[in-house]
Amino acid sequence: MLMEAQSAYRTIKVQPQETGFGAEVTGLDLARPLAAEVLAEVKAAWAAHAVLAFPDQPLTLDQLEAFTLQMGPFGADPFIKPMPGRPNVLELRREPDEKATNFGAGWHSDWSFQPEPPSATILRSEVTPPVGGDTLFCDAARAYEALSPTMQAMLAPLQAIHSAARPYGTKGIFASETAGRTMQIITSPEAEKTERHPLVRTHPVTGRKALYVSPVYTVGIEGLAEPEAEAILGFLFKHLTQEAFIYRHRWRPGMVLMWDNRCTMHFAEGGYDGHLRLMHRTTVAGEVPA
């Protein structure tokens, strides 16, 4: 797989994980505008592997924003206060003495409750703790393909109901937490709105189908009673997070990570209490799921 993958690229080096889900990309400088051929190969690698890591990329915030815009327009980031003067950059900061749960500690696809959820999330490590802090990703396309044809046929017409109420609603997790937090979370009644998306989503570039649900944001299935929806979603959440579908990303300082929200879920691990962790994050606008 590695030889086949690398033979497809002329300007960059792509080293995939053994499963093909996730890859490290070298041989380019994200601090400069990418030539058309390089950008096309980055997008091709992203479509093929869903999660791309770019090591040793000492980007300024201006350069991070510029790279993001090469992938597409900025996405909208609700419920978290952005950096001053940078409405499209979130600072994910956890101080050494913080006791609150680390941000992102639940399986999710970013902002899936939006009418047009972001296609990509881009995250750059500024300060990486010496322990903990891995980000786990699950391959929702391979998880779908592993289901029986009968299960695939049953899921095909279903519409999943997404909402930000559980984390960001007025009675959600962040509204009720008592420990101090450096990041400024905005809880709001707006988070209690719902959006319907196909439970099985077709990727607009690759055409692959993927399960498009998550424990954090999927709250039901249209037309099903709550116990029925819970049974199906509970099975799918357990299925998606099997070890066979997981890529564990271990951070290094100065690394840029880009993932595809249309065919993955992710989970931010803790385990770094007593250490500073600092990241900067942008999102790329997406399309209406189909």
Instruction: Provide the CATH number for the domain around residue 259.
Output: 3.60.130.10
In which band, very low, low, confident or very high, does the pLDDT at 194 lie, cut at 50, 70 and 90?
A: very high
What is the domain extent for residue 123?
Answer: 2-284
Q: 4 pLDDT exceeds 90? A: no
Q: How, if at all, do strands 51-54 and 23-26 pair?
A: parallel
Burial of residue 226 (CB within 10 Å: 0-12, 13-18, 19+) is exposed
For residue 135, the model assigns a pLDDT of 98
DSSP H helices in 123-168: 140-145, 149-155, 165-168
For residue 2, the model assigns a pLDDT of 43
Provide the domain count of the chain: 1
Task: Report percent pLDDT > 70 for the chain.
Answer: 98
Q: Which residues contact 144 (CB under 8 A, 6 or more apart)?
A: 152, 200, 209, 210, 211
290 falls within a domain: no
First to last CA, the chain: 30
pLDDT per position as a tens digit, 207-263: 999 999 999 999 999 999 999 999 999 999 999 999 999 999 999 999 999 999 999
Of 281, 267, 270, 180, whose CA–CA distance to 216 is shortest?
Answer: 267
123 falls within a domain: yes
Angle at 268 between CA 245 and CA 257, to 5 degrees: 80
In which band, very low, low, confident or very high, does the pLDDT at 6 lie, cut at 50, 70 and 90?
A: low
Question: Quick one: CA dihedral 245, 251, 252, 258, positive or negative?
Answer: positive
For residue 5, the model assigns a pLDDT of 54
Q: 141 pLDDT exceeds 50? A: yes
Give the residue-averaged pLDDT of 137-147.
98
Q: 269 pLDDT exceeds 80? A: yes
289 falls within a domain: no
CA dist., res. 72 & res. 34, Å (int):
13
User: In the predicted model, what is the mean pLDDT of the chain?
Assistant: 96
144 falls within a domain: yes
Of 220, 194, 217, whose CA–CA distance to 266 is shortest?
Answer: 217
Give the residue-averaged pLDDT of 281-285.
98
In which band, very low, low, confident or very high, does the pLDDT at 10 lie, cut at 50, 70 and 90?
A: very high
Q: 3 pLDDT exceeds 90? A: no
